[in-house]
Structure formats: C-alpha cells, structure tokens
Amino acid sequence: MLNHHPEIAIPGESHFIPALWDRYRRRPRTEALLADLGCLRQMHEWQIDLEGLCRHLPQEACFSEVIQGVYRSYAQARGKPRFGDKTPRHMRHLDLLEHIFPGAQYVHIVRDGRDAALSYGEMPRRPRFSWVYPRGLADFAFCWRDEVLRARRFGSTVAAGRYFEVRYEDLVTEPEARLREISSFLGLRFDTAMLEYHRDVGPRARTNHKRLAEPPSPGLTDWRTQMRAVEIERFEAIAGDLLTALGYERAFPNPSAWSRTSAVLGCAASRGRLCFMRLAMPIVHRSPVWRLRQTQLLRARQYAR
C-alpha cells in the first residue's frame, strides 16, 4: 500500500541487513561490502546500480551510509523522495535498524496471533527444516508474543513519538480510514493510489502472498472455525496474556494444567532455538559459507530467468 504512494518507495523483503552487519559492523571496507551486496539477488531484483552508488559515497563510508545509499538509490530510480523497508524478520533487530536509520518512523501492524499462525501455515516455499523460522504452532505462538512485545516496548521507549500501531483487522476492514491515519503519521498526504496496490502485483510477489492481487478482504482466515480446540488452547496458554492486552477475545481464559505444562515446555524449546540462533548466525554470517550461499541464490535466480 505505502509503496504505491507517489512519495515513498518500499522494496521487497531485504533480509540481508543483519547478516552484513555481522560481517562488517560500523566501519566496513567499502569495496568488500559493495562486493557482498553485488552477490545478493535483492540488488538485482531492485536494479541497484552499485557502481553509481559507490561514486556517491564518502571515501570512508560507514555501514549506515552504504545501506541507506542502497535504499535511496531504489527510491530515486522510481522518482520518489522517501524510502522504507518491510521485512518481518527485522522485528528481532529493531535496535540495529535504529542505528542504521536514525530517526526512522515505524508502522507496526498487529494481527490476532491465531489468525497470523493460520496465514503463516498457508505460505508455500518454506524450507522443511530451518532454525530461522518457527517450527510448529507452539513455536509460532512464542515468537509472535515475543516479537510483538519487543516492538511495543521499542515503540514506547527508543522510538517514542515515531511508532504507530495499527490492527490488521482494522486495516483490511477500513483500509482508507487506516491509511489516512498512517499517512498523517508519516507526514504524507493521503493518496488513493495506495488503495489500488492490488491491480499491478507481479507474479513473483504472489508466490508467497497469493492474495496480494486481491483488494483488502476481512475474514480470509478465522481461528474460530479453522483451528482445532486443542490448538487454540495451546496457543492461548502461551500467548493469551498478550491477546487479552491487545483486546482480542479468548476461547480459553483458563487453560488446562496440561496446556499450561505443554506451553512451558514449548516456550523452553523456542528459547533454546532462538539462543542457538543468536550464537550461531553471526558466525555463519562472517564465514565464507554465507557469501557462497548468496552466490548460489543469485545464480539460481539468473538461471530461472
């Protein structure tokens, strides 16, 4: 929606910022960083002129200047003065985003976690096994609760006055009203083009988001009819407190002892996975394995074309 506003450009999900930060930190070797950027499929999909970007960077550019330069190039190529990013995995790197984009504004879409779990389960092309993504309902419930709480805490402290929260259910039910509020928050004039985003969605974007080519439609997923009672109870045993705080109704305000025990075990497993990720991923990102993987992904994309 925001990408269709004439004054702001938001590319597809990036994912690469935390990895490049692990590799270079604040003062990178600019040539090496640009070489790594050149291995990313996103730079080719976004049509970033890295040579042109290099000419406009300071002689000893810091990490923030290089990354901002990438997004600024994307926006300028489309005749837009502002840029943004939409990458769900960045929910765990908000402090890093604040360092790279100081003074940024944050729009946080909050959705009923049970419906979010159903939507996540429908997404194709997820790897059969990955330490990065939630594995199963309990893991998803833990991550949803943890990330939403992190974002809200960040919005009330570090980004106070620069954080706007909107309910997904309200956005799809009254898109124009909510977009007017978001536009006002961002200092943009409202433009009806944002409501027409679905008319020119490319096939690649629809791979993971098959309903992106449809106008906003409420009720496409409904945990009340699409989740089993045992799944609802287990989700609420883990994240019910946040559901209540956000104003969502609960089917099981008092989960059974078994559900509570299962929730404790599930949360422990999720914490273990995330702890492993925090320790392992920086090592992987700094190793030659990461660059090799990006090169393979880029070659696969070029072959597919």
- Residuewise pLDDT in 10s, the chain (305 residues): 999 999 999 998 999 999 999 999 877 788 899 999 999 999 999 999 999 999 888 888 899 999 999 999 999 999 999 999 999 989 999 999 999 999 999 999 999 999 999 998 887 655 555 677 888 899 999 999 999 999 999 999 999 999 999 999 999 999 999 999 999 999 999 999 999 988 887 666 656 667 787 888 888 899 999 999 999 999 999 999 999 999 999 999 999 999 999 999 999 999 999 999 999 999 999 999 888 888 877 776 665 55
**pLDDT attached to residue 85:** 96
**pLDDT attached to residue 28:** 79
Cα maximum dimension of the chain: 63
**pLDDT attached to residue 203:** 64
- HSE-CB for 103 with a 13 A CA cutoff: 2
DSSP sequence for 118-159: HHHHH-SS--SS-SSS--SHHHHHHHHHHHHHHHHHHHHTTT
CA distances, 278 to each of 18, 99, 150, 284 (Å)? 11, 19, 16, 11
What is the token pair recorded at 261?
């025990």
Question: How far apart, in whole angstroms, are the C-alpha atoms of residue 58 and residue 133?
Answer: 37
**Closest listed residue to residue 107, CA positions, set 180, 7, 194, 185:** 185
* Domains delineated in the chain: 2-304 (3.40.50.300)
**pLDDT attached to residue 59:** 81
**CB 44 within 8 Å of CB 229:** no
**CB 171 within 8 Å of CB 162:** no
**pLDDT attached to residue 105:** 98
**Closest listed residue to residue 12, CA positions, set 3, 21, 4, 20:** 3
**pLDDT attached to residue 220:** 84
